[in-house]
Amino acid sequence: MSDRLNEILPKERILTEERMDRHTTFRTGGPARYFLVIETRKELAQVLAWLQEEALPWFLLGNGSNLLVGDRGYRGAILHLAGEFLKTEIDEATIRCGAGAMLSAVSRSAMEAGLTGLEFASGIPGTIGGAVRMNAGAYNGEIAGVTESVEVMEPDGRCRVYNREEMAFGYRTSIVKTKPCVVLSTVLKLQKGDRSEISATMQELSAKRREKQPLEYPSAGSTFKRPEGYFAGKLIMDAGLAGACVGGAQVSEKHCGFVINRKNATSADVAGLIQKVTETVQEKFGVTLEPEVIFLGDFEK
């Protein structure tokens, strides 16, 4: 292990050959060469500089809710934000939250403060940083609609702030999805509302999720982006793929837009099923499905 890395982080926050099935909602994935838990901006800047010196690839991990890591692992560094990056502060109708804060927890804090606008996010199992990066959304709401500004750190350690317009939000994308930077914090602007009404809306959306989504199985949520003019789940169902399996991975019969880890699936199983679904839908309907899932690491057998 690098002496320089030991000078930056305490040894208990430097994990080597850490299995990624412990850190992804698919519950699959081989070992990462390094798994680094970072608690301060100073540590982050120093780690980014070290990675550049070592010419090591890196990936910023939130809750692992949109990630598929190859069974042979990832020969780079996984960065995981903790410490000061978990803080959430509320001032009037403004919420400032660290990138590592869970989106569901922030939405609950908003509800408790009587702030409306974040109800749609109450069941999304990701972090604020991940939500901003991919403009997470559900039930006709998306993070772009409530974001005022986003602070990031560039690979050279410099920080900058993007306002909402500069974030170039789009469907499941933003400027920070295409730039090698780390989201540090986000300022959300909500509206004053009735706490009981906000709570009721969140409970209603939670009930819809439980009814329509296979929450009892490991998955990455909606596996495919919504193709223009279509719904991915309906295309997959109409292609006769409900319940289709590759190894332990299965197209959910409850919601065909979800690929689930039905029974001890490997990442190769999941990737194989995603490929099968994509090819079948293309063949039958001429529609190209694009995965929302990020593929990371070595998928070769």
> Which CATH number covers residue 205?
3.30.465.10
The answer to whether residues 146 and 41 belong to one domain is: no
Question: In which domain, by residue range, is 120 found?
Answer: 87-211
Q: Please give the Cα distance from 144 to 162 (Å, whole number).
A: 12
Residue 1 has pLDDT above 90, yes or no: no
Q: Please give the Cα distance from 137 to 142 (Å, whole number).
A: 4
| pLDDT at site 301 | 61
Residue 199 has pLDDT above 70, yes or no: yes
Residue 192 one-letter amino acid: K
Q: Please pick, among 222, 252, 262, 267, the residue that the annotation labels catalytic.
A: 222
Dihedral sign computed on CA atoms, order 124, 125, 126, 128? positive
172 is catalytic: yes
What pTM was estimated for this model as a whole? 0.93
81-92 residue pLDDT tens: 999 999 999 999
245-246 and 294-296 as β-strands: parallel, antiparallel, unpaired? unpaired
Residue pair 72/27 in contact (Cβ under 8 Å)? The answer is no
The answer to whether residues 124 and 197 belong to one domain is: yes
The answer to whether residues 279 and 179 belong to one domain is: no
| pLDDT at site 134 | 93
Q: Please pick, among 43, 142, 151, 292, the residue that the annotation labels catalytic.
A: 292
Residue 69 has pLDDT above 80, yes or no: yes
Residue 123 has pLDDT above 90, yes or no: no
132-177 residue pLDDT tens: 999 999 888 999 999 999 999 999 999 999 999 999 999 999 999 9
Question: Across the strands, what pairs with 93?
Answer: none
Q: Please pick, among 142, 172, 219, 267, the residue that the annotation labels catalytic.
A: 172
| pLDDT at site 251 | 98
